[in-house]
Amino acid sequence: MTRRKRPLARAVARIALAGHAAALLLLATNPTRAQRLPAVEAEHYTRCMEAARRTPQAAFDDANAWRIAGGGHPAEHCADVALIGLGRYAEAAGKLEALADTMTKGPVELRAQVLDQAGQSWLLAGDPARAAGALSAALALTPNDADLLIDRAEALAGEKNFREAITDLDGALQLDAKRVDALVFRASAHRSLEQYDQARRDVDAALRLTPDQPDALLERGNIRSITGDEAGARKDWQRVVQVAPNSATEGAAKANLAKLDAAPADAAAPPAKPKPAPAKKK
């Protein structure tokens, strides 16, 4: 399956960098303190999380000092996200899992999103099995969450459990039939199982919803190449280069085009997959 270029961007965004989110994290630590200083702590949390995306080392140092001063879960969360920005993915994942375990007084939705971040951090660390475990724990808290189902499908595919990944993607699409990312991921999983008709149906559906979507074009080119339509594959990959310059998807498309140009006329080159781009600083 095609890896997303910014695995943690959505999960971080889903924990709002606003006052009420910081207050919820504080309530999970100390209800009295949250009621007394929510505005001050919320401002610090927002500032720290913004820094974690842009200057992770400075954010990590700030969060550690805040944690020593009694910053509780908001300080811990900011430090953990800063670790992701520093490329310390496995460490961040383990700490996020531990944070979720301590948030017993917090809303289950918030705990699930912290576990989602842990799962995606495990993916960045190259450990899809641990990622699937964290995401399964998140889904146990909020089972009807399309984002979590898609994330676990990515982890399952990383272990080559494509049939299980398809089951999760089926569930996500039942919740939201217009999820283009789920359609593209499911097409990729079907392709991995050599179920080319199903793969083509999914990728065509994705492109009907969002024409020129780069990952969908790349995937359709992959399917066309494998099934003998080299002209169609070339057209799709050339379009990716036009619509997604300077992206991992463009890099994969260019690699595929190079293989196509180098291959003998009667030999189809296996399509390349995009390399995951470095995680955005949180």
pLDDT given for residue 28 in this prediction? 55
Q: Which of 66-70, 104-108, 124-128 has the lowest mean pLDDT?
A: 104-108
pLDDT given for residue 212 in this prediction? 96
What does the pLDDT average to over 229-234?
Answer: 97
Residue 82 near residue 63 (C-beta atoms within 8 A): yes
What does the pLDDT average to over 59-71?
Answer: 93
Taking each helix axis as running N to C, give the angle between helix 108-124 and helix 146-158, from 0 to 180 degrees, rounded to the nearest 10. Answer: 30
Could you count the other beta carbons within 10 Å of the beta carbon of residue 177? 11
In a 3-state reduction of DSSP, which class is residue 272? coil
User: String of b and e for 65-78 (b: at least 16 CB within 10 Å)?
Assistant: ebbeeebbbbbbbb
Residue 118 near residue 97 (C-beta atoms within 8 A): yes
Per DSSP, 161 falls in state -
pLDDT tens string 25-45 = 555 555 545 445 466 778 888
What does the pLDDT average to over 70-96?
Answer: 93
pLDDT given for residue 12 in this prediction? 59
Three-state SS letters, 56-123: HHHHHHHHHHHHHCCCHHHHHHHHHHHHHHCCCHHHHHHHHHHHHHHCCCCCHHHHHHHHHHHHHHHH
Dist CA 110 CA 121 (whole Å)? 17
What does the pLDDT average to over 246-263?
Answer: 94
pLDDT given for residue 277 in this prediction? 46
Q: Which of 23-37, 51-65, 197-211 has the lowest mean pLDDT?
A: 23-37
pLDDT given for residue 43 in this prediction? 85
What residues contact residue 49 under an 8 Å CB cut-off, 6+ apart? 12, 17, 59, 77, 78, 81, 282
Percent of the chain with pLDDT over 90: 68
- One-letter amino acid of 16: A
What residues contact residue 158 under an 8 Å CB cut-off, 6+ apart? 1, 123, 128, 131
Dist CA 63 CA 207 (whole Å)? 43
pLDDT given for residue 282 in this prediction? 38
What does the pLDDT average to over 269-279?
Answer: 53
Q: Which of 1-15, 84-98, 217-231 has the lowest mean pLDDT?
A: 1-15
pLDDT grade for 135, boundaries at 50, 70 and 90: very high
What does the pLDDT average to over 56-75?
Answer: 93
pLDDT grade for 126, boundaries at 50, 70 and 90: very high
Cα four-point dihedral sign 73, 78, 84, 87:
negative
Of the candidates 123, 203, 118, 115, the one whose C-alpha atom is nearest the C-alpha of residue 159 is: 123
Q: Which residue has the tokens 């842009």?
A: 54
What does the pLDDT average to over 207-214?
Answer: 97
Mean pLDDT score of the chain? 86
pLDDT given for residue 71 in this prediction? 86
Dist CA 136 CA 119 (whole Å)? 9
Task: For residue 7, give both structure tokens.
Answer: 């695995």
pLDDT given for residue 77 in this prediction? 92
pLDDT tens string 7-26 = 566 655 555 444 445 555 55
pLDDT given for residue 73 in this prediction? 86
CA atoms lying within 13 Å on the CB side of residue 231: 0
CA–centroid distance for 47 within its chain:
23
